[in-house]
Amino acid sequence: MALIELEHIVKTYDLGLSKVPALRDIHVRIERGEFVAIVGQSGSGKSTLMNIIGCLDVPTAGRYRLSGRDVSTLSDDELADVRNLEIGFVFQSFQLLPRASALENVELPLVYRGVAKKERRDRAVEALGMVGLEDRMKHKPAELSGGQRQRVAIARALVTQPSLLLADEPTGNLDSRTGEEIVRLFLDLHARGNTIVLVTHEPKLAGRCPRAVRLVDGLVIADGPGREVAAANAEALGAEALAQFQAAERAVQSGTRP
């Protein structure tokens, strides 16, 4: 049984006057132990898809089965429990509680799991150790660098030992060197048997994943070994960048702002 089964997933944002089709007909299966990158241009629906996989959002149509369970049949409380027990989510913008220390942030999911205080502390310390932050546990997010914040967020996602680790552009807000550290961390976690789904803009990162899925306008248009999908995506990105550059040039020439 596949861990993730997405069948004909559709997500449409209703803005009253217009409807935005963010996902149109997504069909993806992900097995336990896989490491899958999701690539695509900005606005292609990557975050929307990740939020659905992470049970933070529900599809407009289609069926999503997580470990064989149809998510649409679950109550709000059950969804909260799934997020707590099965999923670790890493966000592009970290999403840490600003007033809590690194340690308290990592402990939070265990609070909602009813783990005893002592064990909670031990496990949070252990998770922070795995991301190399054992010496920053008492720091508030504001007192940490971007890379360190992202590592706290990863520790929070790992602390519950979830069956699925999701990361939406985890390196998007980091410089390339810190980004590289985070990538190593994910590769390492994958090597230890974790199932990981990761959204990325960077072809280099996608190229290192065993499998990549490419979205265009809410449709899967490529699904295969990371290197190949990433190369195609890079071309597309290149074309997009070129188009943007040309548009900017025209704007400058005609004296308007791009």
Side by side, the strands of the sheet bearing 19-30 are 19-30, 4-14, 61-66, 69-70
C-beta separation of 198 from 37 below 8 A: yes
x-marked contacts with other proteins along 86-125 as a string, rule CB under 8 A: ---x-x---xxxxx--------xx-xxxxxxx--------
Alpha-carbon span 95 to 181, nearest angstrom: 19
- Residue 149 interacting entry, from ligand ATP, Mg ion, other proteins, none, C-beta within 5 to 8 Å by type: none
Binding site for ligand ATP (CB under 6 A): 13, 15, 20, 22, 40, 42-48
CB proximity list for 99: less than 8 A, separation 6 or greater: 140
Number of residues located near other proteins, criterion CB under 8 A: 28
Partners of 40 in the β-ladder: 215
Residue 46 CB, shortest distance to Mg ion, in Å, is 5
Q: What does 162-196 look like in DSSP terms, one character per residue?
A: -SEEEEESTTTTS-HHHHHHHHHHHHHHHHTT--E
Q: String of b and e for 140-167 (b: at least 16 CB within 10 Å)?
A: ebeebeebbbbbbbbbbbbbbebebbbb
Residue 170 CB, shortest distance to Mg ion, in Å, is 12
x-marked contacts with other proteins along 192-231 as a string, rule CB under 8 A: ----------------------------------------
Query: Applying CB under 8 A, does 56 fall inside the site for other proteins?
Result: yes
Residue 171 CB, shortest distance to ligand ATP, in Å, is 13
Kindly tell me which of 21 and 223 has the beta carbon lying closer to other proteins.
21
Kindly tell me which of 37 and 155 has the beta carbon lying closer to ligand ATP.
37
Chain positions contacting other proteins, by CB under 8 A: 51, 54, 56-57, 76-77, 80-81, 83-85, 89, 91, 95-99, 108-109, 111-117, 156
